[in-house]
Amino acid sequence: MIDQSTVARIFDSAEITEVVSDFVTLKKRGVNFLGLCPFHNEKSPSFTVSPAKGIYKCFGCGKGGNSVNFIMEHEHLDYVGALKYLAKKYHIEVVEKELSPEQERQKNDRESMMIVNSFAQKSFTQNLYEHAQGMAIGMGYMRERGFRDDIIKKFQVGYCLEAWDAFSNHALDCGYKKEYLVKTGLSIEKENRLLDRFRGRVIFPIHGIAGRVQAFGGRILKNDAKAAKYLNSPESEVYHKSRILYGIFQAKKSIVQNEKCFLVEGYTDVLSFHQAGIENVVASSGTALTADQIRLIKRFTNNITIIYDGDAAGIKASLRGIDLVLEQEVNVKVLLLPQGEDPDSFSRTMGASELKEYIEKNESDFIVFKTNLLLKDAKDDPVKRANLIIDIVRSIAIIPDGIVRAVYVRECSNILNVDERVLYTEINKIIHRVKEDSWKNEQRSNLPEDQTTDKLSENSAFLRSANECDLEERALIRILLNFGSEILYSQKDEAGNEEQLLVGQYIITELSNDELESVNPLYQLVFDQYGENMEKEAFNTKTFFRDLPNEKVNQLAADILSEPHQLSGLWTRNESVVESEEMKLKEIVPKLVNEYKGKKVRLLMKEVMQEMQKAQDTGNADRMMELMKQKMVLDQIKNAISKELGNRTIS
């Protein structure tokens, strides 16, 4: 456990803009900052960060919260893990008592695997610099390739000893569990024995966007026809190769500065570019490019140049999977290096300025590049040419932006010597078919009628639509969060002492006295927590719910704090426009509470009337008399509330 004072220091230090800026490119817009949401694919930025409120909120996917929530969501950490991450960022010491065996078992598997990966990286790096075999073989290879010490250290390159189980035994001796050594793929269990997956290989740690080691790539140094030249960690809870790019952690700042990202294939390609002075480069690590990888780059820039070596056959194979890049609305260009060259070898032949100049002169738009490349194969063969046109049309059709599509249609029409109208006809057919399929999939994904209550309770949209008092309750919570500690009334008691009634005290007292509860359990949790804590001296209405260790409450707080005009809209319908909520609290708060009570009474009245109809239909006279009494009481309450609201009738 982390003590509360340390938690408070972390929250005080973790400035929301600084935290989010490590992962998202933010641009100042008024008092807030705006960027592309890292949690969903979006065309235009709807992700807002408010330094004043200490929250982030995406108006596209709805995610929001504080700095800790952001790290939990982005890095897939639990609450304690996110606190530790921020503590490390802001150099805050976290002292924890030693975990018991039971607590150790309860630790999150993911975090345990990340810890094992961190240990492995340090062990491999130590081998490279301090072990005789590592220095002779591993460092010898890096020197032979011409890599400088600063580049080797920057990427934490290491070496796994040429022994069947040297690393596994070392890890076990240091107290790391076999379970996590196997789960991370560092070790392979065979006949009750652990074997080192990367033995005899130079190790390239694969860092996540936050700098934590998620996996490893290893290059074999001896000639072995049966062994793969490069070997990666297997898929695991902490490593999904389709969602990560090698070098993204080291490249992200440079990508933002240069507003461009170079995409290469291998680990040494990235290292060579860095050594040449170009740092905005990442690698797909030998895997086919995926939409998730493109979205990862898109957080930092919309401009990508994919660099291929001179192997035309390999490029054609890659083209089949790269069309999906166009769906992400990024500016994709392609550079084909001279025959026999790869990014590693080519970058060594020139300096940074020469390399950049060469790329700028020789890169071309992806669609044009693909058209010209395939056109060479088609030549005068009409069947191949027809297939080429269909291939190009499919690529253009998936581009979301109509203007960009039009530009490519014109260019391809000229290159292929095909009428633009023909291309547009085929493109429209594809777009229509895709939309039709999308609609069908959406219909299938609708919630079935027999959906369980538990699952529905997790769906905030369902809760809001099912709660007929959602507007009023949400407005009450918004008042609590923004103005709960403001003075509503001030008066003197019999002894002449001044008594103050705060806004929050008034609202909670009124709800409690009339035993009013929300059908939305999340709203009710806020009301309950407020009532339990409002008398505490250190209770801060603006930060309490934002920083509460409950992700759903944090999300709700971020949502409501991002609705600056919601309450005024509530009163506009009653011809009582509130120009300044803070100045009109004495008018707003009692009206809102009574409006809420009136709504509750109306709903209760509706239920009573329905029950009365049932009693009449069944001839149950006793039940009818009981319900008549309830209706009379509700009528009295309704009339009293109407007077409070200025004789406005509650329908």
Which amino acid type is present at position 391? D
Mean pLDDT throughout 622-636?
79
pLDDT at 44 over 90: no
**Alpha carbons 50 and 37: distance in angstroms, whole number:** 14
- Mean pLDDT of all residues belonging to the chain: 81
- Residues contacting 342, CB < 8 A, separation 6+: 265, 266, 269, 309
pLDDT at 165 over 80: yes
List the beta bridge partners of residue 264. Answer: 283
Per mean pLDDT, which of 123-137, 353-367, 495-509, 514-528 is the most reliable? 123-137
Predicted confidence at residue 438, as pLDDT, reads: 56
* CATH 3.40.50.10420 matches 4-90: no
pLDDT at 633 over 80: no
**Alpha carbons 151 and 7: distance in angstroms, whole number:** 36
User: Which CATH number is 100-239's, of 3.40.50.1470, 3.90.980.10, 3.40.1130.10, 3.30.1480.10?
Assistant: 3.90.980.10
Closest CA to 66 of 561, 538, 563, 485: 561
Per mean pLDDT, which of 163-177, 279-293, 532-546 is the most reliable? 163-177
Predicted confidence at residue 578, as pLDDT, reads: 44
Predicted confidence at residue 98, as pLDDT, reads: 59
Supply φ then ψ for residue 157, to 5 degrees. Answer: -65, 145
pTM > 0.85: no
Burial class, 93, CB count within 10 angstroms (exposed 0-12 / middle 13-18 / buried 19+): exposed
Q: By the 8 A CB rule, do 503 and 486 touch?
A: yes
Task: Calculate the alpha carbon distances from 361 to 312, 364, 491 in Å.
Answer: 20, 9, 78
Mean pLDDT throughout 452-467?
46
Predicted confidence at residue 141, as pLDDT, reads: 95
pLDDT-derived band at 146, boundaries 50, 70, 90: very high
Predicted confidence at residue 441, as pLDDT, reads: 55
Q: What H or E segment, with its residue span, contains residue 103?
A: helix 101-106
Paired sense of beta strands 213-220 and 230-232, if any: antiparallel
Mean pLDDT throughout 208-230?
87
Mean pLDDT throughout 238-252?
90
Predicted confidence at residue 466, as pLDDT, reads: 58
**Reduced DSSP (H G I as helix, E B as strand, rest coil) percent helix, strand, coil of the chain, to 5:** 55, 10, 35
pLDDT at 178 over 90: yes
pLDDT digits 0-9 by tens, 560-582: 877 654 444 444 444 444 455 55
Predicted confidence at residue 103, as pLDDT, reads: 52
pLDDT at 447 over 50: no
pLDDT-derived band at 644, boundaries 50, 70, 90: low
Q: Above pLDDT 70, what percent of the chain?
A: 84
Predicted confidence at residue 453, as pLDDT, reads: 34
pLDDT-derived band at 458, boundaries 50, 70, 90: very low
Predicted confidence at residue 256, as pLDDT, reads: 79
Looking only at Cα atoms, what is the longest distance across the chain?
A: 104
pLDDT at 452 over 80: no
What is the token pair recorded at 62? 């709805």
pLDDT at 385 over 80: yes
Neighbours of 139 (CB within 10 A): 20
Predicted confidence at residue 299, as pLDDT, reads: 75
Check residue 92 and report its DSSP letter. Answer: -
CA 43 to chain centre: 15
Mean pLDDT throughout 65-82?
86
**Alpha carbons 522 and 459: distance in angstroms, whole number:** 11
